[in-house]
């Protein structure tokens, strides 16, 4: 599907498509039993999918060393294009050793299904500690992103990839809207400015407030929940999606919001991942991206607004998508509205903040969070899910 001239260009200038044609798929199937195999984990499978649909444009495959090293060190690829997170396929020495550069490798899903092809151009060792410190700002393996790096094999396989076929998402087929399709939808609606919102948590009143503030200034909102791999204690994707459906039906202008799933996996890289999330939404056609408190953070590894400050490390216009920076929102008991410290005259004791941890405790106990924090229909859905779990 062609890009539409009214919409922001994909990152790097061209929306990538690495989904095999019918002829290519048949060719790959004919070769399937003769090719060496690499089994992907859940995150690598997500990465393959995101590369193939153009979500990770301009990447056409897993990163070669010449791109990997400058991305880790200074958030740019070798050609100077900004990129903040390495996208690599790491394997053991035993898996890597027999693979020949210049050959094709069959990529299998975690369950052993043939899902893609890697045109292997390079295999190289990498420094895990260097990646952890630069990307995650810590070497502690209790950080979920660092744990993935340290548990991965010591050799990166690089080269262009092909996704064998684009299958419908098992859980959310109606919300599987790929970058070429969101771009067409935005163009068809006449939207020139679109703000993207990333979330891995159930939607609450603070989210609603900042989304609607943003929606006052642009043509449309892409509500883009991440449904790839997350931490085991995060709320499951199907529960989060039901919450979004409920709130969109009752509390949002339907004609100005599109909800689509983001099939990527979480890295929990805080500031670096905020840049990554913005570039992915640019590929989906967004011109703006909401960055709130502790975006993509975990534990206390990152400062409250580090994910906003990192945007200032790039030249004006270099990223090609504008961050919309929001402070932590709360319910102000003095003005009886949602607010932030920028808009509220209240003292700290007049502000209702509820942490995600506190809310999860209330939900597990079957207690309804106050309406200042969560719409009652959403809270009821979360209680039902928590108690079933």
The answer to whether 174 and 76 have CB atoms below 8 angstroms apart is: no
CB atoms within 10 A of CB 23: 8
Q: Is 151 a catalytic residue?
A: no
Q: Which residues have a Cβ under 8 Å from the Cβ of 164 and sit 6 or more positions away?
A: 20, 25, 28, 29, 114, 115, 116, 117
Q: Can you list the pairs that 132-139 forms with residues at least 24 positions away whose Cβ atoms lie under 8 Å?
A: 134/72, 134/73, 135/72, 135/84, 135/85, 135/86, 135/267, 135/269, 135/272, 136/267, 136/268, 136/269, 136/270, 136/272, 136/301, 137/270, 137/271, 137/301, 137/302, 138/301
Catalytic one of 201, 242, 256, 293: 201
Contact by Cβ (8 Å): 20, 162: yes
Known catalytic residue at 201: yes
Q: Which of 18, 43, 183, 200 is catalytic?
A: 200
Contacts of 336 (CB under 8 A, 6+ apart): none
**Residues forming the active site:** 200-201
């Amino acid at each position: 599907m062609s890009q539409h001239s009214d919409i922001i260009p994909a990152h790097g200038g061209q929306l990538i498509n690495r989904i095999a044609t019918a002829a290519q798929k048949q060719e790959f199937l004919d070769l399937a039993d003769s090719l060496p195999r690499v089994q992907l984990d859940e995150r690598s499978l997500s990465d393959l999918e995101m590369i193939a649909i153009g979500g990770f444009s301009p990447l056409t495959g897993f990163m070669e060393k010449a791109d990997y090293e400058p991305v880790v060190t200074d958030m740019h690829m070798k050609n100077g294009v900004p990129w903040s997170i390495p996208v690599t396929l790491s394997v053991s020495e035993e898996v890597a050793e027999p693979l020949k550069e210049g050959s094709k490798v069959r990529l299998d899903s975690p369950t052993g299904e043939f899902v893609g092809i890697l045109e292997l151009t390079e295999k190289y060792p990498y420094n895990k500690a260097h990646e952890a410190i630069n990307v995650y700002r810590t070497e502690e393996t209790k950080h979920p992103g660092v744990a993935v790096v340290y548990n991965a094999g010591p050799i990166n396989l690089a080269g262009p990839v092909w996704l064998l076929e684009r299958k419908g998402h098992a859980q959310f087929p109606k919300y599987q809207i790929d970058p070429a399709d969101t771009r067409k939808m935005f163009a068809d609606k006449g939207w020139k400015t679109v703000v993207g919102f990333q979330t891995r948590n159930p939607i609450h009143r603070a989210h609603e407030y900042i989304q609607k503030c943003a929606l006052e200034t642009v043509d449309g909102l892409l509500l883009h929940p991440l449904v790839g791999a997350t931490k085991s204690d995060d709320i499951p994707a199907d529960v989060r999606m039901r919450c979004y459906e409920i709130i969109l039906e009752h509390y949002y202008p339907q004609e100005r919001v599109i909800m689509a799933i983001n099939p990527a996996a979480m890295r929990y890289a805080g500031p670096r991942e905020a840049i990554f999330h913005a570039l992915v939404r640019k590929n989906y056609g967004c011109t703006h991206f909401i960055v709130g408190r502790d975006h993509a953070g975990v534990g206390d590894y990152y400062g409250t607004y580090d994910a906003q400050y990192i945007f200032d490390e790039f030249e004006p216009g270099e990223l090609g998508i504008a961050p919309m920076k929001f402070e932590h929102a709360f319910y102000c008991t003095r003005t009886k509205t949602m607010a932030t410290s920028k808009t509220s005259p209240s003292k700290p004791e007049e502000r209702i903040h509820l942490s995600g941890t506190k809310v999860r405790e209330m939900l597990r106990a079957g207690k309804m969070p106050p309406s200042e924090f969560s719409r009652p229909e959403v809270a009821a859905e979360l209680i039902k899910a928590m108690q079933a779990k």
